[in-house]
Structure 1
Amino acid sequence: MRFLTCLTEEHDLALVGLAAWFCLVGSMITIRLLDRIRHAGPGSRIAWVFLGGAATGATIWCTHFIAMIAYQPGVEVAYEPRLTGLSLLVAIFGSAAALHLATRRWRGSAALGGALFGLAVSAMHYLGMQAFVAHGMVRWSQGYVAASVLFAVALGALAFDRAQGRGRFAGQWWATGLMVASIVLLHFTGMAAMVVTPFAPGIGQVGSSTATIVMAIAVAGVGTLVVGTGLATYILDAQARSDTRRRLRELLESNVDGMAIVQGGAITATNAAFAALVGDGAPIVGQPLSRWIADIATAARPDRLTQLTLTALDGSEIPVEVTMRIDPRSSCPQTIYSIRDLRARIAQERRIAHLARNDSLTGLPNRTSFLEWLSRQTGPDSPHRAVALLSIDLDRFKEINDIHGHAAGDRVLTRIGERMKAALLPGEFIARLGGDEFVAVMPVAEPDDALQLIDRLRDAIGAPVTLDASGIEVACGMSVGVALWPRDATELSALINNADLAMYRAKASIAVDACFYEEEMDKTVRIRRQMVQELRTAIDRGELAVHWQVQEAVGTRAITGYEALLRWTRADGSSVSPAHFIPLAEQSGLILPIGEWVLRTACAAAASWAEPYRIAVNLSPVQLGHVDLPRLVQQVLLDTGLSPARLELEITETAMITDPVRTIHILRQLKAIGVSVAMDDFGTGYSSLSTLRSFPFDKIKLDRSFMAELNGAPQSAAIIRAVLTLGESLHIPVLAEGVETPEQLAFLREQGCDEAQGYLLGRPGPLPVRVEDAPERLAG
């Protein structure tokens, strides 16, 4: 009742209302500044504490002073200025100390700071009351004094605690209400503790005179200015912080990686990329980052890449790469996490690793994987007694590429690869080395065990493959060579080489498509390699020579020319048949320098003859496929001085089949130079009539095999007649090779053959020293 009586009967309620409004606004600003101080950086914290102390001290002092002016004790009153000013300083510095303590980062600091605030308010109030001078006797009630201090300390502690707390009955509005209550209860309970008994009238003011009211309003205005300054500063800072947060959001959203900012153990901001990682719709802000990345607190380190696992909202696990940076500028440091989704990169790395070890077209293991597998199967720790290596080459695959195109060839390889992989049993291995070359590896107990895999692969490869929607089907065959470890070789390179040798034997065979390695194969290869090495140096050693075989007109026996034939005589006097070394020269590429040497040597020799006989020089298919052949022939003719009309170049039908368009183009260039072109070995090719139709040859040379079978095979005589008739119809002269008996020559004369060549007319040999009688000597 004393509290209510003091409030309603001894105060000017208008000024009480002004004080209450001032207390409410000031308390609200104080609570907001408390939050700002708590998040201030080390550099700005002292400034914010001072500003908060000034605003808070001014709030409670002005509230107290206006309420004191509103007090009407019925006697003259006055205020001692020094104590009044001292009470303002106590309010400001006490509030600053309370705000500083309340915003520390240890448990209970908020409540302790609030309690200190209550004590500061109490000290300010009762120090101000000491400045109150009344013309009467002042008596105090200790109970009311203790209650007022208790109200201030308890409600102040609760207000500061709720300002920084979470959950129910927490937040700025609850804290503001509690702070207003602490100030109001302190003041009016403290005023109720004071009883003034009037003396005789003396100096001072009585009640609420007009001057007193004006002073109260002036005090309120000054206080408002102080508090308004604090409020304006807070608003400007809040705007700056808002702009900073906006720029931070823009920066976060511009990053393709997931970004999360953690402060005080909880997420304060993220971007859309992080939300997409954890799952749209999941509550993120306010949650700990460890909810999605469990080990981030212990595993992540500043400025270091760490690979962790993020668990999304749906439970799926996502590999991520996390980097973090700590921003220590605020009293509550914030940590910025960059979280990169590694699924695409891991998938790409797996693809790169797959391509490094597997064929990009068929998906089968490649050469690298094959060598690793074979080394494990044949290594010292191998559990197998024997291992079979199969070298596989597809037959007729080149025809598919040439006829249907490389895209069709790729589809065939892909389909065959799938079938071969499906045909494997556990412990078996297959790989593609490139093109149409494959290898397979399997453990065996007996050599014939490899035949089981060969049969399965034969079925997989030989089955037709449909190329496209048109229904065109193609089929390949295979040639397989088998080498056994350790029987055939103990080193990997030798084992692979032996399997290849067996495969080449199978490819050359007509009867079988699979061959096992035999030691004789290796011997043959060594002999061939040795011959190639000797052939490389044969020109420099002078072991190669050009021999000549005469060509005569069948009717008159007149010499029409000579064919240049290459002969190889080793230094030890042994001769090597052209049938042996010419194929080796073609396979090794040596035919190009050897062929140029033969052409240049033959032309130079013929240019020195007294008689302008024509010479015939054979061209290999390898030479014919060389783009510089016409230029070479023209240069040789210019260098040797031989007339182009005296040079005849002989080619076989096989040379034209490989690339007819290109070959005909080169032959036309040769014809343009002025040399003549003859078709050699006519009748043994694949498309003689179409070849004659596509290019106008200057001569047809009938293969020697028909002359050899002339007496024993009536069909040969019929073929010779047909060729001679064909030549006559096309106005192309025909030369018959291999004439060795007078009966053969007589038959050719009867049938009207133009020219002949053979041992009967003259064996190949070097030209005599005197060229004038060379024809007679060669014909002998």
Structure 2
Amino acid sequence: MRILSCLIDQHDYFLTGLAALICVLGSWVTLRLFEKLRGSAVGARMTWTFLGAISGGATIWCTHFVAMLAYQPGAETTYAPVLTGVSLAVAVVGVGAALIIGTRRTRAAAVAGGVVFGLTTAAMHYTGMAAFTADALISWHAAYVAASVLAAAAGGALTFDLARRGLKGRRWAMVPGSMVLTIVALHFTGMGALDVVPLAPLDGAATGETARGLLAAAVASVAFLILSVALASQALEDQTRKIAQKRLSLLIEGSVDGMLVEGDEGVLIVNAAFAELCGAPASAVVGRRVSDWVDQAEDMLGGALVQSELKAADGTVIPVEVAVRRERRDDGVAGDARIFAVRDLRARLAQERRIAHLARNDSLTGLPNRASFLEKLERQAAVSEPGRRFALLAMDLDRFKEINDIYGHAVGDQVLVHVAGQMKEAVREGEFVARLGGDEFVAIVPIDDRIEAFEAAERLRAAALTPMQAEHAELQCGASIGIAVWPDDATEPSVLINDADLAMYRAKASLTDDICFYEGAMDEAVRERRRITQGLREALDHERFELHYQVQASLETGKVTGFEALLRWPQADGKFISPADFIPIAEETGLILQIGEWVLRRACAEAAAWKEPHKIAVNLSPVQLSHTDLPRLVHQVLLESGLSPSRLELEITETAMISDLTRTTHVLRQLKGLGVSIAMDDFGTGYSSLSTLRAFPFDKIKLDRSFMSEVDASPQSRAIIRAVLALGESLDIPVLAEGVETSGQLAFLREQGCNEAQGYLLGRPGRDTQAAAGADVLIIPAGMLESEAA
């Protein structure tokens, strides 16, 4: 009743309302600054603390003294200026301390800051009341003083605890109201503790009008100060918020990933990419929790990429990758903000699945590739069950190269896809078919006996034979299939593959069988060819070849005219592999080009070192002759070795010219232009076409050795030799006979007017070329030839 009586009977209502208005406005401004301070960065905290201290202290002080202006105790009142100023300083410093303590993160700190705020309000009030003097007797009731201090402390604690949670929602009005009630409760409870008994006026005291004028000026100044602080803080807040929102909007909207900013109250900002990803408008996302959309979002820590799932608005589950970053909020709201970057993984996962598929499957046909086949074969071979067998089928398409050459590679690819599709339909459960590359396919078929393997091969071959319509024509491929059975033919996967390949090559070479089983004896020849091919490569790399020389002599004078360079391939056991065995393989594999270049360089280099300028004859393969850069190579070798072109004789066979007479003739003319001699080798065994002799002016004809071996027993051979010698004489082309091994053969050639001879009778091939170094060495004494002919 004392408090109500004091409020109703002893206060001017207008000034009391003005005090209340100042208190409400100042409380709202102070709490807004409190919220801004809690969310500010470290560098800005001092500024916001200063502004909050000025605003809060001025609010308390202004409310107090406007209310004191409204107080009418019935006697003249005055206020001591010094204590009045001290009360304002107490209010500003105390509120600043309360803000510093109360803006810490814990609830206890907020409550402690509120208690300091309440005690500061009480201290300011009673310091200001100490400045109050009146022409009256003044007394205080201690119980009411204590009650006012406790009310201020409790109200301050409640206010700061509520403000810690922000000013959103109902707290926008509740928190400032709590502060207003704290200040009002302190003031009017404290005023209720005061008893004023009027007396006669005090000498020298200021009049009431003078006091009111001073207080009015002070209140006006403080009011302007509060307004200035409010406007300044609002401007700073708006500017800070706009800059932050602009920066954040540019960052978020410029990202191709979905971006969200989540605070304690839910999603604050969301970009268009996330809204599109979840299939909902941005307004439907703002205010909700990220965990409503992204699975386990609440448990995600900052600094790590997490794979999760997003639940779209239509119920679709989308795989996503989420990155989280924690940031202090700079919008004046307490608490941290979490920035989520959400990336749609559907395209990447699809690409990864495609890459994984391509790593194990053929990109053209979709069949398993070589890697998948090898893995499957290893698994099949690793299963150890008694009596378990399976067949490996190696398949190669027939006539596929013709389709590529005639219709183009695009149609060839269509044929491969068609064949692969037919094979997919033809395979049965438990069988496996793959494409190794090109037109090569393989299949793994579980079997009980070889008959089942043959039936599976026939089934797959029939699938490959299925015709296809393309380019207005019906296209059809055949298939050659080789079969190797595990474990009958091999107990190692690599050996099994090799065996199936050997059987397939045999089927491809056969005119009657399209399907062949592996047979060790029959496929040994292919195995031998592979060994020779590998050996040729190693011999080239390590220069294990040798050149042997066989003498050529004039039958008229018996003197040496030259040497033929013959290639020899020695083995580790001292034996030699016949050129008839390895030269055809070298021509098939293309190694003959490197071998021929090595022979040409070595022969010219060694011949250049001979004392006598004998000729050196070097054989050319048809493969070498087909290359148009052969004249360039010969010219380069002659320059490097220093050998005179007139001493080099290149031997070619007639079959080398028949394949492309025009181009070969052009190459030979270029060689002849270098000053090199050209000889036709093995004459009489090929076409022996007179048009060939007419097309190019050869420098020598070499009669094949097969005629000399039959000269004693075959009249036909003797007739052919006479005809060739007569042809050479009429065309003015010297003739050299090969394979001379007996004195009778030599006498016959001399009798028929043959120019030169070469054979074992004159000298076997060998590395010793000392005969070439001697001058005028007579290999065949003329007198002996005459006596034997007689």
TM range (shorter): 0.7 to 0.9
Q: Does 1:366 align with 2:352?
A: no
**CA gap 1:667/1:208 in 2 versus in 1, 3 angstroms:** farther
CA contact (8 A) 1:71 1:207 kept: no
Q: Does 1:428 align with 2:431?
A: yes
- In structure 1, the partner of 2:218 is 218
Q: Deviations over 1:240-299 (max 9, x none)?
A: 35424433443444555544444447444455554454445254444333333333444x
Q: Tell me how far apart the structure 2 counterparts of residues 274 and 664 of structure 1 sit (CA, whole Å).
A: 75
- In structure 2, the partner of 1:471 is 472
**CA gap 1:777/1:425 in 2 versus in 1, 3 angstroms:** farther
1:385 CA displacement: 0.7
1:484 CA displacement: 1.1
1:595 CA displacement: 5.2
Q: Tell me the amino acid that sits aligned with residue 405 of structure 2.
A: D
- In structure 2, the partner of 1:388 is 391
**CA gap 1:229/1:22 in 2 versus in 1, 3 angstroms:** same
* Superposition map of 1:182-197 within 5 A: 183=183, 187=187
Q: Tell me how far apart the structure 2 counterparts of residues 532 and 232 of structure 1 sit (CA, whole Å).
A: 92
Q: Tell me how far apart the structure 2 counterparts of residues 475 and 450 of structure 1 sit (CA, whole Å).
A: 24
Q: Tell me how far apart the structure 1 counterparts of residues 64 and 324 of structure 2 sit (CA, whole Å).
A: 51
Q: Tell me how far apart the structure 1 counterparts of residues 718 and 237 of structure 2 sit (CA, whole Å).
A: 121
- For the residue of structure 2 that corresponds to 1:652, the secondary structure is helix
Q: Which moved more, 1:76-85 or 1:541-550?
A: 541-550
1:445 CA displacement: 1.2
Q: Does 1:501 align with 2:502?
A: yes
Q: Tell me how far apart the structure 2 counterparts of residues 590 and 62 of structure 1 sit (CA, whole Å).
A: 107
- In structure 2, the partner of 1:713 is none
Q: Which moved more, 1:360-369 or 1:493-502?
A: 360-369
- In structure 2, the partner of 1:23 is 23
**CA gap 1:280/1:454 in 2 versus in 1, 3 angstroms:** same
Q: Tell me how far apart the structure 1 counterparts of residues 696 and 247 of structure 2 sit (CA, whole Å).
A: 94
Q: Which moved more, 1:421-430 or 1:57-66?
A: 421-430
Q: Tell me the amino acid that sits aligned with residue 480 of structure 1.
A: I
Q: Deviations over 1:499-540 (max 9, x none)?
A: 111111111111111211011035334555677799898997
- In structure 2, the partner of 1:63 is 63
- In structure 1, the partner of 2:491 is 490
- In structure 1, the partner of 2:460 is 457
Q: Tell me the amino acid that sits aligned with residue 75 of structure 1.
A: A
Q: Tell me the amino acid that sits aligned with residue 388 of structure 2.
A: R
Q: Tell me the amino acid that sits aligned with residue 133 of structure 1.
A: T
- For the residue of structure 2 that corresponds to 1:209, the secondary structure is helix
Q: Tell me the amino acid that sits aligned with residue 34 of structure 2.
A: L
1:90 CA displacement: 5.2
1:32 CA displacement: 0.6
Q: Tell me the amino acid that sits aligned with residue 368 of structure 1.
A: A
CA contact (8 A) 1:267 1:289 kept: yes
1:490 CA displacement: 0.6
- In structure 2, the partner of 1:356 is 359
Q: Which moved more, 1:415-424 or 1:7-16?
A: 7-16
* Superposition map of 1:592-671 within 5 A: 592=593, 619-633=620-634, 643=646, 649-652=652-655, 656=659, 666=667, 669-670=670-671
Q: Tell me how far apart the structure 1 counterparts of residues 19 and 450 of structure 2 sit (CA, whole Å).
A: 111
* Superposition map of 1:81-96 within 5 A: 84-85=84-85, 87-88=87-88, 91-92=91-92, 95-96=95-96
Q: Which moved more, 1:536-545 or 1:580-589?
A: 536-545
Q: Tell me how far apart the structure 2 counterparts of residues 359 and 456 of structure 1 sit (CA, whole Å).
A: 22
Q: TM-score, normalised by structure 1?
A: 0.72
1:376 CA displacement: 0.7
CA contact (8 A) 1:621 1:651 kept: no
Q: Tell me the amino acid that sits aligned with residue 64 of structure 1.
A: H
Q: Tell me how far apart the structure 2 counterparts of residues 90 and 36 of structure 1 sit (CA, whole Å).
A: 23
Q: Does 1:77 align with 2:77?
A: yes
**CA gap 1:42/1:563 in 2 versus in 1, 3 angstroms:** closer
CA contact (8 A) 2:489 2:496 kept: yes
Backbone CA RMSD of aligned residues: 5.7
CA contact (8 A) 1:26 1:56 kept: yes
Q: Tell me how far apart the structure 2 counterparts of residues 498 and 772 of structure 1 sit (CA, whole Å).
A: 59
CA contact (8 A) 2:680 2:702 kept: no
Q: Tell me how far apart the structure 2 counterparts of residues 292 and 667 of structure 1 sit (CA, whole Å).
A: 82
Q: Tell me how far apart the structure 2 counterparts of residues 260 and 775 of structure 1 sit (CA, whole Å).
A: 111
- In structure 1, the partner of 2:768 is none
Q: Tell me how far apart the structure 2 counterparts of residues 466 and 397 of structure 1 sit (CA, whole Å).
A: 15
Q: Deviations over 1:702-728 (max 9, x none)?
A: 766x9xxxxxxxxxxxxx9xx88x889
Q: Tell me how far apart the structure 2 counterparts of residues 703 and 81 of structure 1 sit (CA, whole Å).
A: 140
Q: Tell me how far apart the structure 1 counterparts of residues 227 and 787 of structure 2 sit (CA, whole Å).
A: 136
CA contact (8 A) 1:621 1:655 kept: no
* Superposition map of 1:705-744 within 5 A: 742=715
Q: Tell me how far apart the structure 1 counterparts of residues 447 and 390 of structure 2 sit (CA, whole Å).
A: 6
Identity among equivalent positions (%) equals 47
The count of aligned residue pairs is: 725
**CA gap 1:76/1:585 in 2 versus in 1, 3 angstroms:** closer
- Listed as ranges, the gaps of 5+ residues in structure 1 are 552-560, 682-700, 707-719
CA contact (8 A) 1:101 1:109 kept: yes
- Listed as ranges, the gaps of 5+ residues in structure 2 are 556-560, 729-734, 740-744, 750-756, 763-777
1:446 CA displacement: 0.9
Q: Tell me how far apart the structure 2 counterparts of residues 661 and 187 of structure 1 sit (CA, whole Å).
A: 124
Q: Does 1:246 align with 2:249?
A: no
1:29 CA displacement: 0.8
Q: Tell me how far apart the structure 2 counterparts of residues 775 and 405 of structure 1 sit (CA, whole Å).
A: 66
Q: TM-score, normalised by structure 2?
A: 0.72
1:82 CA displacement: 6.2
